[in-house]
Amino acid sequence: MKMGSGRDRDWLGEIYACLGFFTRLPMPAYRLAPDGFGRALWAAPLAGLVPALAATLTLTVGHAFDLPPLASAGLALVVLLLITGALHEDGLSDVADGFGGGSTRERKLGIMKDSRIGTYGVAALVLSLLLRASLMAALVPYGFWIMLGVLIAAHCSSRALLPYTMHTLPNARANGVSAGVGLVPKESATLALLIGVVALAPLGFGHAILAAVLLAVVIITLHTLALKQIGGQTGDVLGAIQQAGEVTVLIVAVAALN
């Protein structure tokens, strides 16, 4: 598959590449140029459609079998973790451990690379899972289409922040997942953000604007923190940003519905 621009660009291959990276789903064979994945990241928010649909179906089935909403949400989280391989949750826990437990930049990066998890990481994971489970449980009474719209908004818009982060922040280390992707062009980062904004539409105009503003606050805050703590971004920082963005949109949506 060729990587080009305009009509010659392999848009479908780039979507497959993002789906293959951000989920554990088997994707059709694709081949991008060495620097092609950075350009393909415009499709990162589209990868959020898969977990959004899977979580909605799980919540719907759980409700159909008269499970308590929180139990259905717990099952939905299990499905989400299986589909994504806990990619972003791993980043969140590593950032919490590194930023919370390291005294120097080098020490923070070393902790983040360590496969072991510490107190800060456990606390961050528990809080993230608890918030997401309770917020998804609150969506169950509103039915399939409301749940689907809200979860699309949360999963797609939160992933739209990742290419922008990779474009604007330097790599904190010379190797690693984020550094290995290479340059994310401005055009790809901008298109991802536009898709993320469109994904907020199910919230309604006013609440979509509120969610966009709060997502901007989240990304500015975490960008500033990452620069101060480790001098840039890593794959773990990207995971933490996605988790924070997802929770932010869910909070806005549930507050709006209530």
Chunked mean pLDDT (size 10), the chain, 258 residues: 54 88 81 74 96 98 97 98 96 96 92 93 97 98 98 98 96 74 89 98 97 97 96 95 98 95
> What local confidence, expressed as pLDDT, does residue 35 receive?
62
DSSP 8-class letter at 171: B
> What local confidence, expressed as pLDDT, does residue 2 receive?
41
> What local confidence, expressed as pLDDT, does residue 3 receive?
41
pTM over 0.75: yes
> What local confidence, expressed as pLDDT, does residue 13 receive?
84
> What local confidence, expressed as pLDDT, does residue 27 receive?
77
CA distance 128 to 80: 13
Which ranges of 69-204 would DSSP assign to H, the alpha helix? 69-84, 87-101, 105-113, 119-139, 144-168, 177-181, 186-199
> What local confidence, expressed as pLDDT, does residue 191 receive?
97
Looking from the CA of 254 toward its CB, the CA atoms found within 13 Å total 19
Q: Which residues pair with 171 in a beta bridge?
A: 233
Minimal CA–CA distance to 62: which of 75, 77, 46, 48? 75
Which amino acid makes up residue 36? G
Minimal CA–CA distance to 140: which of 74, 225, 239? 74
Structural Rg of the chain based on CA atoms: 18
Neighbours of 121 (CB within 10 A): 24
Q: What angle do CA 175, 180, 186 make, to 5 degrees?
A: 125
> What local confidence, expressed as pLDDT, does residue 25 receive?
87
For 12, the token pair is 């479908």
